A and B are shown apart, each in its own frame.
Chain A
Amino acid sequence: MKLQIILLWAAVGIYVASSFLYIAGLVFKRPKFVKSAGLAVWLGLVPHSVSIVLRWIQAGHGPYVDFYEVAGSDTWMALVLFLIARYKFPKLDPVGAVILPVSFLFLGLGVMNSPEITQVPDSVRTFWLVVHITFAKLAYGSFLIGTSLAAFQLLKERGLAKQEAAPGVAASTIPVEGMAGTAVGKRGGFLDSLPEPEGLDQSSYRFLAVGFFFLSIMILAGSIWANNIWGSYWNWDPMETWSLISWLIYGAYLHLRSTFGWRGRRASWFAIFAMAVLLFALFGVEYVYRTGHVLYLNRPFPWDK
């Protein structure tokens, strides 16, 4: 247990350093800092992954039961998705300035939470639980990246508006490889490192649409799982209901984009609002409601620890 905690704290430390490098790299216009920050994520994933594997072996179940496990595995998935995304679209690299701080904060909160192992009966560990949990992590990772892109879209658009308002500043147009659009901004400014707002907007949309797909699978698999073990596919449990609310909100986002042509600022603000609801569904519900989402795993043993 001690080793897991030490490894996770090491990962938190590396992610803090990576966040610092990302932000410093963007603010002080040092591309080398940004590059090093990306390498630091790879480095941080080593102790992070080892810690998750150790916990898995020790607990005898996957990392999905308590906040300690969920925070550790969700941030891991978000960071892995981010690394895949930046490999595919190198211009996404600066998005790390949002993803890394969010990740180390959640991971830190998770480590500070009780690492006591909650036992899970064998009977609930079914195929559908694996699908439910895997897609939950994929969904949250995709939404986090999509929302970060939306936030950068807003920043970029604001920067461009300011630039247009300031006379005598030349704009540069840099072709972007692997992404829609080109980077436009003040020559040498930190916004240069980002694609143009339309490209960010499109990429954000794609991640959110894929996240919606994953979220749908998560809800559907959870529902089948619940039906198999408790006899009811829908219990109006606060966590499942808030997940449904998130799903409806993302559904509205996709409709607003595809039918009403919502793009740019409006779509980005909506994406940030949807993410706030999703974060509440994932982490906030347990503090407000008495949800049995995880505790149900041990039902019906009210008298046994």
Chain B
Amino acid sequence: MFSFLKSVKLAIVLIALLTALIVAGMVIPQANLKPALYAQWWASHPGVAVVVQRLGLDHTFTSWWFLAVVGLFFVNTLACTVDQAVNAWRLAWSSRSGGLQPAGAGTSAGYPEEIATSVLHGRRYVVRGWDYPAEGTWVFLAEKNRAGYWGSVIFHAGLLLIILGVVYGSLGRFEGVMLLTEGERRVEGHGEYIHLEEGPAFAEAHPGFEVGLERVRHFPPTQKTPAGMTSGLTLDGKPFQLGQQAPLVYRGFRIYQDRFGDAVSLESDPGRGAPLQFTAGLLDQITTDGSKVSRGSLVIPGTAVRARLTLYADAALKDGKLFASSLVLKRPLLRVILEGSTGARLFQGDVKAGQGIHAAGLKLTFTGASYWLALRIRRDPGQDMIFAGFGVVLLGLILLYFLIPRKIWVEIKPGSGPDCRDGWQVSVRGSAPRHSDLLEAELEEIRRKLAETPGVYSADVAKGELRFAARGGHWT
């Protein structure tokens, strides 16, 4: 079972499957990602849409089968990582398991040893140990970039950490959108959000701080920056400034500015008791007849009259028609349509701030306009784990591709044959898990360097064999 789970073949199959599923999720409209686009697609392809919905292809990234593939990928990566860690340990410490004597122990091989170790040290190699396979023969192992053996292990461990972070984050995550108009205060809590997503482990851990929106400030565009806005907030009574796309972090929760728009304050006086003041956020932002306006409707409290409101935030007359070029509040003008319970139109007219209308037995005054702001408040406990995973992945990649481990064995044995007299024969061999061509190039360089040293009188660089004369000897 473990050999199946740690199989790289399985990894390839799972990578291909994941890629195919993600591509499918990109080709088929996703209901949870782009609801408007999905509704449009559903209307134009009703037959296919039913099949897609039945198969769950319209929510690919949250479907059980996608999550199952990710889960299997996690298990496979975990098994591979364990297996690779064992291999890396063996490779990194094979000098010990090979029964070599520690560096510096035993007798010296003399002049060739000094030359060889000096050349290898110059190329950042460290002598790990010695062996004496036969009388008068020395073999020593030199290594560099040993950390590179761990590259793949660390990279895959980073991937595991990211997947764990995503799972942990989705279990304990919280995200909500809270709507506030200028001057309004709310105590953070489950019922105060217009949109809410909570992970199963969030357990209603609302911080319960008081949020107030003091003022929204709008900045016109400049030559180099687009229009911007900031919001003056109070959190538990303390003032904070919230910038565009620059969140606040408060008690472990991140607070962002999301959408914002215009709100109108009205006062209604049905003539029975005290007038009632209320504020309505106009959520519908549209362009009509070339004008950018905000719209909304509400039933006036205490009556059966419905008010349909259209706000021209920056009203002006253009060709005899009412016109507004933006939703930024400058010269607000409110178009009011009052309808009875049957839908019959009772009144239509335009009012400026401070003006009122008398219709259907009530007095309705447009007291002023302000902004509403949607605050997005979120917490993702897995976030730090994910970012730590990112770091581990990068470290793994650096070790994997920029620190290729190399081992070099140097064998020194007494020279034989008439040419060698009292000298030595030196052989240089090496191994590397990747980029063996680069190792070969380096071996050739090392052999060439050794061949240039005084005392070497015969060198076959390609084979890696050099013959040294006795100390003080020279080429003959």
B-binding residues in A (CB < 8 A): 59-61, 119-124, 180-181, 198-199, 202, 206, 209-210, 212-213, 216-217, 220, 223-224, 227-233, 236, 238, 241-242, 244-245, 248-249, 251-252, 255-256, 258-260, 289-290, 298-305
Contacts and interface: CB of A to CB of B under 8 A. Distances in A.
Interface stretch (B203-211, B363-371, B390-398): B390-398
Interface in B345-389: 376, 378, 383, 386-387
Contacts of B228: 121, 123
B176 to A, nearest CB: 11
B123 interface: no
A5 B353 CA distance: 50
B: contact size bracket: 35 or more
Contacts of A231: 175, 247, 254, 256, 376, 378
B390 A224 contact: yes
B319 interface: no
Given A220-B390, A236-B33, 9 more contacts: A119-B221, A119-B224, A212-B397, A227-B383, A229-B247, A231-B175, A231-B376, A245-B19, A248-B19
A204 B229 CA distance: 48
Contacts of B386: 233
Contacts of B397: 212-213, 216
B246 A300 contact: no
Contacts of A217: 394
A119 B22 contact: no
A217 B390 CA distance: 9
A180 B441 contact: yes
Nearest to B27: A288
B327 interface: yes
B94 interface: no
B243 A244 contact: no
Interface of B: 8, 11-12, 15-16, 18-19, 22-23, 25-26, 30, 33-34, 37, 61, 175, 221-229, 243-247, 254, 256-260, 285, 292, 326-327, 376, 378, 383, 386-387, 390, 393-394, 397-398, 401, 434-435, 437-438, 441
Contacts, number: 123
Contacts of B257: 300
A230 B256 CA distance: 7
B133 to A, nearest CB: 32
Contact of A255 (B8, B225, B390): B8
A131 to B, nearest CB: 11
Contact of B15 (A212, A224, A251): A251
B245 A124 contact: yes
Contacts of B11: 255
A301 B227 contact: yes
B15 A121 contact: no
Contact of A229 (B61, B175, B245, B441): B245
Given A202-B435, A230-B256, A304-B326, A241 B26 contact: yes
